[in-house]
Amino acid sequence: MRTNPASETSTSGAVVALQAAASAGVSVCFANPGTTEMPLVGAFDQVQGMRAVLGLFEGVCTGAADGYGRMLGRPAATLLHLGPGLANGLANLHNARRARTPILNIVGDHASWHLKYDAPLTSDIESLARPMSRWYRSVAAADHLWQDTVDGIEASLAAPGGVATLVLPVDFQQLPAPQQIRRAPVPLPAPTFSEARLSDVQQALRARSKVVFLLGDRALSRRGHIAAGRIAAATGARLYSETFPARTERGGGLPDIDRLPYFPEPAIAALKDAVVVLAGAVAPIAYFGYEGLPSELAPPESLATLALPGEAADLALERLAELLDAPAPLAAAPRAPYSVSNGPLTPQAVGRLLSNALPSGAIVSVEGGTCGYPFVTASAQAEHHTILTNTGGAIGQGLPVALGAAVACPDRRVFALQSDGSAQYTIQSLWTMARERLPVVMLIASNRRYGILQTELGRSGIEPGPQAQRLTLLDDPPFDWLALAQGYGVPGLRAQSTDELSQALAHALERTDGPLLIEMRLA
Ligand SMILES: Cc1ncc(C[n+]2csc(CCOP(=O)(O)OP(=O)(O)O)c2C)c(N)n1
């Protein structure tokens, strides 16, 4: 049965939901709305402290919420249009789930009384949402709106963090709903660590001579890096970060912690015969299963857990460093910029030039291996920066994550080091960056192919015929990156040599009024 929508003077459910979100600490919503979200769209102008950011594709919204949440540790909201809008955003919600990023994922739905008629946009939203969501609720009455919204935010933040999906049928958005007393923002988690695990690790360290630490999550904070560096200095242990960390600090004199290699053969060799101490990381598993190679990169009996993801791995490392009487870190050697002589743009030169150019406090969203690996290798020498990587392997996350990080951290310079094939999945991010005047510097590694797929074809022993080759080539026609950028309102530059890239980076750093795209034509 239809009931009267909220009159102009009463408060609609939509306003109540946004007020609840804002008072619980959510201040940004990455949105791509439709008819079933109209009351929420109207409510943005009635609620203080909630910024609505339009994304032209839902994968942009969900990836941006991921970048935002990784940087601030608290959720942004999304606003998506029924099952199909949610489905468009799922790949980046998958990456966010892997990164354990808090997100309040709001999905509008038909009026509850309209659902049974199976109108064209009706679908099983719950089945679509569940695999990416640690919490799911469809609002069952306007009276529940405030509490359901706050419950979703709390669920997204509960350690180790994740996606909470809140479905808002449009009738409950329209109906008057009770407001509740304003409450303080939902507190951020204050993680602890387990002393029992600490003593297990101490025992394991005594038992074996080769020790490897695998660091993830909070172990990759500044404090975690410094403590791990002390432990390595005291014990000779080898330090690795997860191959694709959600967020890691780097540079600025922090210890140079290598990533665990991507391919299983070198990763297995790195961990062989060692006790592998997991600090904020889970047991290392091969990215793909290859016939004849184990999925587990280290045998289960070689693992010792110091702290789980979501626990205070950084504090646990500090405590272990104290127990080991590890010396305080040495003062960092002065930073020596790389000298790169003029020549063609190789991935190694790109990595070094970007490392030289990063201002202190930069954020770098890295997607794609071609320049990603050489950059991370080089960037221990850079000023202090934060790296965000593709945690779940669903490509099309690098540009949206950079967008979200720029919204979250307006005082920090944001770079997207982006392979060309992956950039095309969520290229609409450029328009939102331009519209919001976000000074993101996009560096497109233009190799005009799906490089990793060519490598994988080689590994699988397949001699590619013409069709297989065409499935990995992007050169006919080549993307016109400058035209694409211009089409979305973003200025662009092309660099074909190392000198041209240095100049383009210098120019990019002078600009603060919006994004810039640099096409790096790789040799
Ligand atoms: C959503 C999704 N679709 C497809 C893939 C398969 N895939 C993995 S890497 C890749 C191509 C990457 O090419 P590019 O971004 O240009 O990086 P390069 O290896 O050339 O640096 C594809 C299609 C994926 N991982 N995720």
Q: What is the pLDDT of residues 16-64, one digit of tens each?
A: 999 999 999 999 999 999 999 999 999 999 999 999 999 999 999 999 9
Task: Tell me what the mean pLDDT of segment 226-234 comes to.
Answer: 96
Task: Tell me what the mean pLDDT of segment 68-73 comes to.
Answer: 98
pTM of the model: 0.97
Q: Which residue has the tokens 């409950």?
A: 172
**Per-residue confidence (pLDDT) for residue 493, from 0 to 100:** 98
Q: Is 475 in the pocket of ligand 1 (CB under 6 A)?
A: no
Question: Measured from the CA of 423, which atom of ligand 1 is nearest?
Answer: 15
- Smallest CA-to-CA distance from 18 within 140, 89, 104 is with 104
Task: Tell me what the mean pLDDT of segment 360-385 comes to.
Answer: 97
Report how far ligand 1's centroid is from the alpha carbon of 395 (Å). 6
Task: Tell me what the mean pLDDT of segment 102-120 comes to.
Answer: 98
- Smallest CA-to-CA distance from 307 within 274, 281, 271 is with 281
Strands 385-389 and 248-250: antiparallel
**Per-residue confidence (pLDDT) for residue 8, from 0 to 100:** 42
Q: Is 67 in the pocket of ligand 1 (CB under 6 A)?
A: no
**Per-residue confidence (pLDDT) for residue 335, from 0 to 100:** 79
Q: Could you tell me where the beta strands, DSSP code E, fall in 340-427?
A: 362-367, 385-389, 414-419
pLDDT grade for 5, boundaries at 50, 70 and 90: very low
Could you tell me the two tokens for 397? 């996350």
CB under 8 Å to 333, separation ≥6 — which residues? Answer: 253
Report how far ligand 1's centroid is from the alpha carbon of 449 (Å). 9
Residue 420: is its pLDDT beyond 90?
yes
Q: Is 394 in the pocket of ligand 1 (CB under 6 A)?
A: yes
Q: Is 482 in the pocket of ligand 1 (CB under 6 A)?
A: no
Tell me which residue has its CA closest to atom 1 in ligand 1: 394
Tell me which residue has its CA closest to atom 12 in ligand 1: 450
**Per-residue confidence (pLDDT) for residue 10, from 0 to 100:** 65
**Per-residue confidence (pLDDT) for residue 318, from 0 to 100:** 98
* Among 92-106, 203-217, 230-244, 498-512, the least confident range: 203-217
Q: Is 370 in the pocket of ligand 1 (CB under 6 A)?
A: yes
pLDDT tens digits along 166-217: 999 999 999 999 888 777 899 999 999 999 999 999 998 888 789 999 999 9
> What 8-state DSSP symbol labels residue 261?
P
Handedness of CA 220, 221, 227, 229 (dihedral sign): positive
Report how far ligand 1's centroid is from the alpha carbon of 445 (Å). 13
pLDDT grade for 237, boundaries at 50, 70 and 90: very high
**Per-residue confidence (pLDDT) for residue 410, from 0 to 100:** 98
Report how far ligand 1's centroid is from the alpha carbon of 359 (Å). 29
Tell me which residue has its CA closest to atom 20 in ligand 1: 451
Report how far ligand 1's centroid is from the alpha carbon of 421 (Å). 6
Q: What is the mean pLDDT of the chain?
A: 95
C-alpha 92, offset from chain centre: 9
Count of CA atoms in the C-beta half-sphere (13 A) of 235: 29
Residue 354: is its pLDDT beyond 70?
yes
**Per-residue confidence (pLDDT) for residue 1, from 0 to 100:** 40
**Per-residue confidence (pLDDT) for residue 475, from 0 to 100:** 97
Question: Measured from the CA of 372, which atom of ligand 1 is nearest?
Answer: 21
CB under 8 Å to 311, separation ≥6 — which residues? Answer: 159, 191, 192, 193, 194, 218, 280
Q: Could you tell which of 399, 450, 456 is best to mutate to test the pocket of ligand 1, judged by most ligand atoms within 8 Å of the CB? A: 450
H/E stretch holding 214? strand 211-215
User: 134-157: buried (b, 16+ CB within 10 Å) or exposed (e) per residue?
Assistant: bbbbbbeebbbbbebbbbbbebbb
Q: Is 417 in the pocket of ligand 1 (CB under 6 A)?
A: no
Q: Is 318 in the pocket of ligand 1 (CB under 6 A)?
A: no
Residue 6: is its pLDDT beyond 50?
no
Q: Is 479 in the pocket of ligand 1 (CB under 6 A)?
A: no
**Per-residue confidence (pLDDT) for residue 448, from 0 to 100:** 98
